[in-house]
Amino acid sequence: MEEAPSDATGSDVSELRLRWHVYRCRRKSDTKTRFLRELARVVARAPRPTQGKTAPPLLEIGTSAGGSALLMLRVLDDVYRGGRPPFVLTVDPYGARPYEGAPFVYDARQYRAMKRALARYANHVHYMMDSGLFLQELEHLYLWADGARQPLDKFTLVYLDGSHDPDTVWREIETLLPRLVPGGTMVVDDTDWFEGAVRRRLDAAAPGLGVQVRHNGKQSLIAKSQIGLDSVA
Ligand SMILES: C[S@@+](CC[C@H](N)C(=O)[O-])C[C@H]1O[C@@H](n2cnc3c(N)ncnc32)[C@H](O)[C@@H]1O
C-alpha cells in the first residue's frame, strides 16, 4: 500500500497531502491538476457533521474514468481517518451519449476504468444515467444506512462536470443548489464553454441566491452561506 507524506496536522489535511492525492489520481482524470487541486481543497474543507452523525453525501455529475471521484474518495478517507466518510454518489450514462460542444466519446472503456478505480470504496455509489433522469428521480431516491432510509435531499458538496450544455448545467444548478448544505460548495467545471453562458448567468443570479461565486480559470465555485436561500431564480 502506498504511503502519503505524513505532515498532516490534526484532522485537517495539509496542502502537501492534498497534492499527493491529486498526484495519485490525475492520470485517471480528464481534469487538469490545477483544477483537481482546487476540488481537493473544497472536499477537505467541506462541512462536517457533529460527532456520531454521518455527513450528507457528496455528488459528482460526469465521472468518466473516475479520476475526480477517486480524488474525492481519497481526500474523504484522509479527513475522516478512523471515522465514517460520507457517500460519494456519481452520475454518468456513458454509452457514447453525444457530448454537446465537443466530439468526445465516453463509453464502456471509461465505465470499466471507473469501476476498476473505485472498486474498493464501499461508500461509492454509481447511477448509470444522465443528469436529466437523475434530477427527475431525485425526490424518489434514497439510500439505506445503519438500518435507516436516507432521502437524497441534502448534499455536502456538488461537483458538476457532465454535459456542458448551458441549459443542462443550469437545470443541475437550479435543482441541486437548494439541496446543498449551508456552508457547502458547488464546483462547476468548464463554465467558459459556450461563450461563458453559464458563468454569465451565475454572476447575474448570485446576489439573489444567497451564494458567493468565484471563478478559478475555467472552473466556477459557488459557496453557500450558512443561511442559504431555498430556491434559485
Ligand atoms: C469531462 S468528463 C468528466 C471528467 C471527470 N469528472 C474527471 O475529472 O475525471 C464528462 C463526463 O460527463 C458525462 N456526461 C455527459 N453528459 C452527461 C449528462 N447529461 N449527465 C451526466 N453525465 C454526463 C460523460 O459521459 C463523461 O463521462
pLDDT at residue 7, rounded to an integer: 40
Identify the helix (H) or strand (E) that includes residue 142.
strand 142-145
- The atom number, within ligand 1, closest to the CA of 36 reads 8
Ligand 1 close to Cβ of residue 131 (< 6 A): yes
Set out the domains of the chain in order of their start, with CATH numbers: 29-46+53-224 (3.40.50.150)
**Cα end-to-end span (Å), the chain:** 48
Gap from CA of 113 to ligand 1 centroid (Å): 14
Residue 233 has pLDDT above 70, yes or no: no
- pLDDT band of residue 214 (cuts 50, 70, 90) is very high
- The atom number, within ligand 1, closest to the CA of 64 reads 27
Ligand 1 close to Cβ of residue 90 (< 6 A): no
CB-neighbour burial class of residue 171 (10 A; exposed 0-12, middle 13-18, buried 19+): middle
- The atom number, within ligand 1, closest to the CA of 95 reads 25
- pLDDT band of residue 51 (cuts 50, 70, 90) is confident
Amino acid at 104: F
* Arithmetic mean of pLDDT, 18-26: 97
The dihedral over CA atoms of 33, 189, 117, 76, expressed in degrees to the nearest 10, equals 80
Cβ 213 vs Cβ 201: under 8 Å: no
pLDDT at residue 227, rounded to an integer: 63
pLDDT, one tens digit per residue, over 89-119 is: 999 999 999 999 999 999 999 999 999 999 9
pLDDT at residue 10, rounded to an integer: 35
pLDDT at residue 165, rounded to an integer: 98
Return the C-alpha cell found at 104: 468526445
Mutate to test the pocket of ligand 1, among 21, 25, 30 (most ligand atoms within 8 A of CB): 30
Ligand 1 close to Cβ of residue 172 (< 6 A): no
C-alpha–C-alpha distance, residues 15 and 19, integer Å: 6
C-alpha–C-alpha distance, residues 186 and 198, integer Å: 14
- Residue with CA at minimum distance from ligand 1 atom 23: 162
Mapping DSSP to helix (H, G, I), strand (E, B) and coil, where does residue 80 land? coil
- The atom number, within ligand 1, closest to the CA of 67 reads 9
Residue 119: CB atoms within 10 A of its CB come to: 10
Gap from CA of 82 to ligand 1 centroid (Å): 31
- Give the number of C-alpha atoms closer than 13 A to the C-alpha of residue 121, restricted to the C-beta side: 26
Residue 125 has pLDDT above 60, yes or no: yes
Ligand 1 close to Cβ of residue 30 (< 6 A): yes
Mutate to test the pocket of ligand 1, among 64, 130, 192 (most ligand atoms within 8 A of CB): 64
pLDDT, one tens digit per residue, over 164-203 is: 999 999 999 999 999 999 999 999 999 999 999 999 999 9
